C-alpha cells in the first residue's frame, strides 16, 4: 500500500513479529500492519536513486511495502529477511 505522507513509515522488528506503521498525510492518523515471522513467505528489494524499498510477501495476508529507506537501513532489513530463509 503506497500512501502520500509527510511522515515516514516506522518499522519495528521484534523477536515475534514485524510491525509497520504508516502515517496519514499530516501524521494525524496511522495504521499498523503486524506480521508474524512464521507468516513471511518471501521479500523483494528495490534499489532506487535516492531511496530503497522492501516488499514483504506473507502467507495468507497481503504484502507489505516499506518505502523511503536509506541504503544502510534497506541492507539491514534485507539481511534479516535473508536469514529467515536459512
One DSSP character per residue, 23-71 reads: E-TTSS-EEEEEEEGGGEEEEEEEE-SS-EEEEEEESSS--EEEEEE-H
pLDDT score of 5: 66
Using alpha carbons, select from 44, 68, 62, 39 the residue that is nearest to residue 54. 44
The residue behind cell 512464521 is: 38
CATH architecture of residue range(s) 10-84: Roll (2.30)
Task: Please identify every stretch of the chain with a pLDDT value under 50, giving residue numbers as ranges.
Answer: 1
Domains of the chain by residue range: 10-84
pLDDT score of 3: 56
Q: Is 36 in contact with 56 (CB distance < 8 Å)?
A: no
pLDDT score of 78: 95
The residue behind cell 500492519 is: 33
pLDDT score of 65: 93
Using alpha carbons, select from 82, 56, 57, 58 the residue that is nearest to residue 69. 56
What is the model's pTM? 0.82
Amino acid at each position: 500500500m503506497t500512501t502520500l505522507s509527510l511522515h515516514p513509515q516506522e518499522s519495528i522488528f521484534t523477536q515475534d513479529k514485524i510491525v509497520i506503521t504508516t502515517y496519514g498525510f499530516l501524521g494525524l492518523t496511522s495504521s499498523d500492519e503486524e506480521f508474524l515471522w512464521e507468516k513471511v513467505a518471501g521479500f523483494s528489494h528495490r534499489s532506487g536513486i535516492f531511496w530503497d524499498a522492501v516488499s514483504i510477501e506473507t502467507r495468507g495476508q497481503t504484502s507489505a511495502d516499506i518505502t523511503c529507506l536509506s541504503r544502510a537501513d534497506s541492507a539491514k532489513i534485507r539481511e534479516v529477511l535473508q536469514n529467515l530463509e536459512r
